[in-house]
Structure 1
Amino acid sequence: QGGTQIKDVVIKPDAPNTLLLDKHADYIAAYGSKKDDYEYTLSEYLRMSGIYWGLTVMDLMGQLHRMNREEIIDFIKSCQHDCGGFSASIGHDPHLLYTLSAVQILTLYDNVKAIDVDKVVDYVRGLQQEDGSFAGDKWGEIDTRFSFCAVATLALLGRLDAVDVDKAVEFVLSCMNFDGGFGCRPGSESHAGQIYCCTGFLSVTGQLHQVNADLLGWWLCERQLPSGGLNGRPEKLPDVCYSWWVLAALKIIGRIHWIDKAKLRTFILSCQDEETGGFADRPGDMVDPFHTLFGVAGLSLLGDEQIKPVNPVFCMPEDVLQRIGLQPDLLS
């Protein structure tokens, strides 16, 4: 037989198997209130994204009212720089990742008018390169994640026409691989995180027909391990965040019925912490807001009735996108 040992986890018989919604809401509500907490200060360099994770998961659980709207909107305004972009926290450098998070938060709160939208649009436009790709910030790292961040930000603002969409599409398609997947740049290996970004990008730009959905769907389904969990690429351990990236990509390309939903649900639920609330990457590990959002959002895509429907492209509640009239394409 030989072969390599499959990397996977074993789910213990006493692992949580029901959704502990109230515990998760309490965990997220308390997280931001402990401002001098070591863990909180440690995450300063991604504070803006942290707020997006926390608010989105609270909204999906119907608990958004427990978060401090005014304080959050003031924080966002204080993170917009003269160039139009947003930083993770006050005094940090602006970046496309945090600019998308800021716009997602303001969209959740129906308050995009709190910021200078034209300057945001100028900032995003200024990061597009000759070949259609996008840099994440003025230092210039190119990655298909940033192509997604750029078009997602502009679509939420209703300003997708501000960039050269055809060129942007051309670049993303040049990152498609023979296995149907996508990498961060042309020639880079396929990875579930990049595939989520590229299928999301093609959805927003109306170009999903360019994907080989059967080939890509097969690659994504092969991410499911015997435990039910999903990994990001071959030979890696499962992680709750991939239950979002892989599942959302499958939903976008119309192949979500190809995986074993019941086993994936069991894996996600086993990553909950029954004491503290929250989700970890794997059963028994430390919980954090990042994995808590992607665990809950994954369960929403799996059809959990206790959670609001989530949009697979924007990772935001469907009702929020309906309110602004945004309906990104999905393959059937």
Structure 2
Amino acid sequence: MGELATEKHVRYILSVEKRKDNFESVVMEHLRMNGAYWGLTTLDLLGKLHSVDVDEVVSWLMSCQHESGGFGGNVGHDPHILYTLSAVQVLALFDKLNVIDVDKVTSYIVSLQNEDGSFSGDMWGEVDTRFSYIAICCLSILHCLDKINVEKAVKYIISCKNMDGGFGCTPGGESHAGQIFCCVGALAITGSLDLVDKDLLGWWLCERQVKSGGLNGRPEKLPDVCYSWWVLSSLIMIDRVHWISKEKLIKFILDCQDTENGGISDRPDDAVDVFHTLFFLAGLSLLEYPGLKPVDPAYALPVDVVNRIFFTKEGLK
């Protein structure tokens, strides 16, 4: 079994921001806020967050805020709930949540809740259980979860539960590991996990492990290293992680590294990217792999950051 190429992954993450003219940079331009969260959380899990200029990042991040209170994927881009969560998560990493107007951000998120309890991603109205999780996670971090109708939000999420125990993006939508993480995460944060059939869902999730040891997102699909996060975190939240082979999964995950240049790909020998690099490391962290900070399965942030938010005087301001 290979080893974690820590220093090369750190160099890869730090180099991504400096390369402005390569393909990855161009295609990521519209979701740079997400990229910041992926890259910076990667560095924090590796204990290297000090390698970046905090003031520079925070200044850029705040320039992405819209007058509505939401954040865009980059400067001048329209606000969306997805980028808003990434912005809040990055500020939480840096312990800089005090730089935002919490009421303004909260008001933006609250405005996106629909009558049935669901959430739209932005003013154009697309509904998805991803947005339910994002709203609940973001408001929880900001200590403002009471600003929305939590009961209706939970009821809507449960309406997206399928007969196989999984969850889809809307009622009747196909069960998918990514959506399951969002629904289970939202239910965990709201203290509603008793509404989940843990054995049925656990069985569906553990069936995502294929012969190579990797995990896929739904039946008959190829394994992808990012599901090391989406599936594992869900299994941990419902206390069924012992139903998969951790050893086989660790081997698959480590085989997805570019051990020469750093970074991680979806599958062995594919092109690396920042997204898969984060969720590769987050998956290893959930598996208690040495050399990584523990990660919280519901908030997708290092445990020490979550503890600071909820269990220190600064976080409770």
- TM-score range, shorter-chain basis? over 0.9
The match for 1:87 among 49, 59, 72 is 72
Indicate if the aligned counterparts of 1:252 and 1:313 stay in contact, CA closer than 8 A: yes
How far apart are the structure 1 equivalents of 2:22 and 2:162? 44
Q: How many residues align?
A: 312
- Judged with a 3 Å threshold, the aligned counterparts in structure 2 of structure 1 residues 193 and 326 are, in CA distance, closer, same or farther, namely farther
Are 2:49 and 1:72 equivalent residues in the alignment?
A: no
Partner residue in 2 for 1:281: 266
How far apart are the structure 2 equivalents of 1:198 and 1:133? 12
How far apart are the structure 1 equivalents of 2:197 and 2:116? 23
Compute the TM-score of the two structures, normalised by the length of structure 2.
Answer: 0.97
| 1:1-332 mapped onto 2 (5 Å cutoff) | 17-325=2-310
Compute the TM-score of the two structures, normalised by the length of structure 1.
Answer: 0.92
How far apart are the structure 2 equivalents of 1:68 and 1:269? 29
User: What is the identity, as a one-letter code, of the residue corresponding to 1:243?
Assistant: S
Shift of 1:245: 0.2
Partner residue in 1 for 2:315: none
Give the 3-state SS of the residue equivalent to 2:226 in structure 1.
helix
Shift of 1:326: 6.3
Shift of 1:292: 0.3
Indicate if the aligned counterparts of 2:58 and 2:91 stay in contact, CA closer than 8 A: yes
How far apart are the structure 1 equivalents of 2:120 and 2:109? 9
Unpaired stretches in structure 1, ≥5 consecutive residues: 1-15, 328-332
User: What is the identity, as a one-letter code, of the residue corresponding to 1:195?
Assistant: I
Q: Between the two proteins, what is the percent identity of the paired residues?
A: 58
Shift of 1:17: 1.3
How far apart are the structure 2 equivalents of 1:68 and 1:52? 14
Indicate if the aligned counterparts of 2:177 and 2:230 stay in contact, CA closer than 8 A: yes
Deviations 1:285-325 (A, max 9, x none): 00001000000010000111210001011111000011111
Deviations 1:188-239 (A, max 9, x none): 1100000000000000111001101000000000000000000000010000
RMSD: 1.1
Give the 3-state SS of the residue equivalent to 1:236 in structure 2.
coil
Structure of greater relative contact order (alpha carbons < 8 Å, 6+ residues apart): 1
Indicate if the aligned counterparts of 2:24 and 2:273 stay in contact, CA closer than 8 A: no
Unpaired stretches in structure 2, ≥5 consecutive residues: 313-317
Deviations 1:10-45 (A, max 9, x none): xxxxxx711111110111011112234442132111
How far apart are the structure 1 equivalents of 2:80 and 2:34? 11
How far apart are the structure 2 equivalents of 1:107 and 1:261? 30
How far apart are the structure 2 equivalents of 1:42 and 1:281? 17
Partner residue in 2 for 1:12: none
- Judged with a 3 Å threshold, the aligned counterparts in structure 2 of structure 1 residues 28 and 215 are, in CA distance, closer, same or farther, namely same
Give the 3-state SS of the residue equivalent to 2:26 in structure 1.
helix
How far apart are the structure 2 equivalents of 1:326 and 1:285? 41
